[in-house]
Amino acid sequence: MDTSRWSSTIRRRGTALSLIALSGILAVNLAARAEATPTGPDVSSWQHIDGRLIDWFAVKRSGHAFAMVKATEGVSYINPYFVADSLLMRAAGVARGTYHYARPNLLPEPQAAMYAAVVLGQNGALDLPPVLDLETTGGLPPAALIDWTHRYLNTVQALTGRTPIVYTYPNFWKTAMADTNEFTRYPLWIADYRGNDAPEVPGGWSTWTFWQTTDSGGIDGIAGNTDLNVYSGAQGDFARFANM
């Protein structure tokens, strides 16, 4: 028997089997990573058609790890479904993000104080950081709107102890905020529905944290269409980021 030829054959077969095994492991890891990418809707009173409650257990069963819920707007509006959504999504094990819809024609500090009071600090178990939804100017020019935004975010951070998230969309930031890069220390939640592989990131941010990919998604447990979002991993482990 030619032992050198036999040994060479064994080595080739061993290498081939190792490559096949490695390919399988990589495929499994990539699939697991794709499946593990946290996703979730964002909702307001508009998703409570005819007063129906959201079935948060169905949302969770659909594979969604979090949801962003509108809490407040301006200095007087509180989402009438906010408490019910908060309680039910916690019971279902869905991480809760909450947002304040900015009205920059009104002072920022009272808005921040009302939001922080309604969400009870936004720093408990299953809580993502607080969110400022900034998509209207209130008639302010860029310099004044930039100052307003600083004041709101500083107040919310002081009241909650957490670094807030900024929600906006590219064109608004580039025009209404003059594409300022003064807010890059805050995580970015960007709305971009153009179907690209990644969203446009304005304002000097190096990356996005949440991406709102559509405003016409469908999720079991939610009546009608809803916005859909994905987490990038930019803030590290999602469970830690969401106080899970």
Active site residues: 42, 133, 135
Query: DSSP code of 121?
Result: G
Q: What's the first-to-final CA gap in the chain, in angstroms?
A: 63
How far apart (Å, rounded) are the C-alpha atoms in residues 199 and 196? 7
**Helix 142-160 vs helix 108-118: angle between axes, to the nearest 10 degrees?**
30
Residue 149, SS3 per DSSP:
helix
| Side-chain half-sphere exposure of 191, counting CA atoms within 13 A | 17
How far apart (Å, rounded) are the C-alpha atoms in residues 170 and 166? 12
